[in-house]
């Protein structure tokens, strides 16, 4: 079961965190941008190549202490098809370094189309007799608004190819409650979605008690997070919103079970931009600053869990 692979890495590194690789061009140090602009002009290709170099340096600096990365598809699409090539190359590089890769795409559609998304991001496509992995991630975030037949094609790939998904339940943004907190009967929509995650995952439970179907639950709503942890015993949580969005170690502690498992906490901007915030950090040392911030985050979260 795919999320077992993630949990194993978390256990081995004593670090339940994932670094969100959401590389806006302005996060990339100027010297690195300039190197590509001088060669390739002010083009999407140059921007995408600068981002790839930045990502690789970050992966090198993080792969022995952080179990997983979560590239956000939007920040690659923003640089067009060269950006998508950078996404492919980033995923490949991180997996070569042993990292677990969660593509944050929040994809959703009808069954036939989800079969295409599942093949694109987690599976492979056949071209003649050749099988190719278009993006090749270990897990994908998805939106469950369309119900079971939009999830089914993913479950098949999770089973056959040892992959995972994380379904949006309660998102970290300020207006998430507009739909997600509204009550269906006695339950808020996010809990109905959480119940569906338990259901979808019920035939796919791994060695740690968690299925290959996880849920996205924001660090910015610690009460709902702790409440869902109790109600969804087989659903691992991907928790965004720690760091730049305001979530803290105390807030996310409720995402974990009694064995300190069951959640992986994401931070993106606070880690990617660490080199901008650290006093007197030369921009050439961006990767070391990123590593220091990732260690600080790990220690912040684990210290709280081991009180």
Does the protein bind a copy of itself through residue 251 (CB under 8 A)? no
Q: In angstroms, what is the minimal distance from the CB of 37 to a copy of itself?
A: 6
Which one of the listed residues 8, 106, 170, 187 is annotated catalytic? Answer: 106
Considering beta carbons, is residue 99 or 142 the nearer one to a copy of itself? 142
Q: What angle do CA 6, 220, 296 make, to 5 degrees?
A: 60
Does the protein bind a copy of itself through residue 74 (CB under 8 A)? yes
Instruction: Name the segment binding a copy of itself (CB under 8 A); options: 9-17, 116-124, 247-255, 270-278.
Output: 116-124
User: Which position among 119, 217, 270, 301 is part of the footprint of a copy of itself (CB under 8 A)?
Assistant: 119
Considering beta carbons, is residue 29 or 240 the nearer one to a copy of itself? 240
Considering beta carbons, is residue 121 or 298 the nearer one to a copy of itself? 121
Does the protein bind a copy of itself through residue 110 (CB under 8 A)? yes
Q: Please give the structure tokens belonging to residue 158.
A: 């999770």
Does the protein bind a copy of itself through residue 78 (CB under 8 A)? yes
Q: Nearest to residue 168, comparing CAs of 186, 187, 143?
A: 143
Instruction: Name the segment binding a copy of itself (CB under 8 A); options: 42-50, 203-211, 221-229, 272-280.
Output: 42-50
Instruction: Name the segment binding a copy of itself (CB under 8 A); options: 22-30, 57-65, 272-280, 283-291.
Output: 22-30
Q: In angstroms, what is the minimal distance from the CB of 140 to a copy of itself?
A: 11
**Strand ranges (DSSP E) for the chain?**
17-21, 68-71, 100-107, 125-127, 130-132, 139-142, 164-170, 183-184, 187-188, 213-217, 237-239, 263-267
User: Which position among 8, 14, 35, 44 is part of the footprint of a copy of itself (CB under 8 A)?
Assistant: 44
Q: Judge whether 91 and 128 are in contact, CB under 8 Å.
A: no
Does the protein bind a copy of itself through residue 111 (CB under 8 A)? yes
Instruction: Name the segment binding a copy of itself (CB under 8 A); options: 19-27, 230-238, 281-289, 292-300.
Output: 19-27
Annotation says 106 is catalytic: yes
Instruction: Please name the residues in contact with 179: beta carbons below 8 A apart, sequence gap of 6 or more.
Output: 189
Residues 132-191 that bind a copy of itself (CB under 8 A): 132, 134-135, 143-150, 168, 171-180, 182-185, 189
User: Which position among 14, 95, 106, 261 is part of the footprint of a copy of itself (CB under 8 A)?
Assistant: 106
Q: Please give the structure tokens belonging to residue 16.
A: 């339940």
Considering beta carbons, is residue 135 or 275 the nearer one to a copy of itself? 135
Across the strands, what pairs with 104? 72
Q: Judge whether 32 and 54 are in contact, CB under 8 Å.
A: yes
List own/partner pairs for 229-234 with CB under 8 A and 24 or more apart.
229/254, 229/255, 229/256, 229/257, 229/262, 229/263, 231/191, 231/194, 231/195, 232/194, 232/195, 232/197, 232/198, 233/198, 233/209, 233/257, 234/198, 234/201, 234/202, 234/205, 234/209, 234/210
Does the protein bind a copy of itself through residue 49 (CB under 8 A)? no
Known catalytic residues?
106
């Amino acid at each position: 079961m795919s999320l077992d692979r993630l949990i194993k890495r978390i256990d081995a590194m004593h670090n339940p965190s994932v670094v969100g690789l959401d590389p806006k061009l302005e996060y990339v140090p100027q010297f690195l941008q300039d190197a590509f602009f001088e060669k390739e002009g002010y083009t999407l290709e140059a921007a995408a190549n600068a981002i790839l170099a930045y990502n690789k340096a970050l992966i090198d600096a993080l792969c022995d202490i952080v179990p997983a990365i979560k590239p956000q598809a939007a920040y690659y699409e923003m640089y067009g098809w060269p950006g998508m090539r950078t996404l492919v190359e980033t995923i490949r590089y991180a997996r070569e370094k042993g990292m677990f890769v969660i593509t944050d795409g929040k994809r959703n559609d009808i069954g036939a189309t989800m079969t295409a998304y599942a093949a694109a991001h987690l599976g492979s496509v056949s071209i003649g007799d050749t099988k190719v992995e278009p993006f090749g991630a270990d897990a994908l975030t998805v939106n469950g608004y369309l119900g079971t037949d939009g999830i089914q094609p993913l479950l098949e790939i999770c089973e056959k190819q040892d992959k995972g998904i994380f379904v949006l339940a309660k998102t970290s943004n300020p207006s998430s409650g507009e739909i997600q907190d509204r009550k269906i009967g006695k339950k808020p929509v996010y809990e109905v979605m959480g119940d569906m995650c338990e259901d979808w995952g019920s035939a796919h439970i791994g060695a740690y008690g968690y299925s290959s179907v996880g849920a996205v639950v924001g660090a910015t709503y610690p009460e709902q997070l702790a409440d869902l942890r109790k109600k969804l015993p087989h659903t691992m949580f991907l928790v965004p919103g720690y760091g730049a969005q305001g979530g803290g170690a105390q807030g996310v502690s409720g995402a974990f079970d009694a064995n300190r498992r069951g959640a992986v906490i994401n931070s993106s901007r606070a880690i990617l931009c660490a080199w901008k915030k650290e006093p007197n950090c030369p921009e050439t040392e961006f990767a070391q600053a990123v590593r220091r911030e990732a260690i600080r985050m790990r220690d912040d979260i684990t210290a709280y869990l081991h009180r």
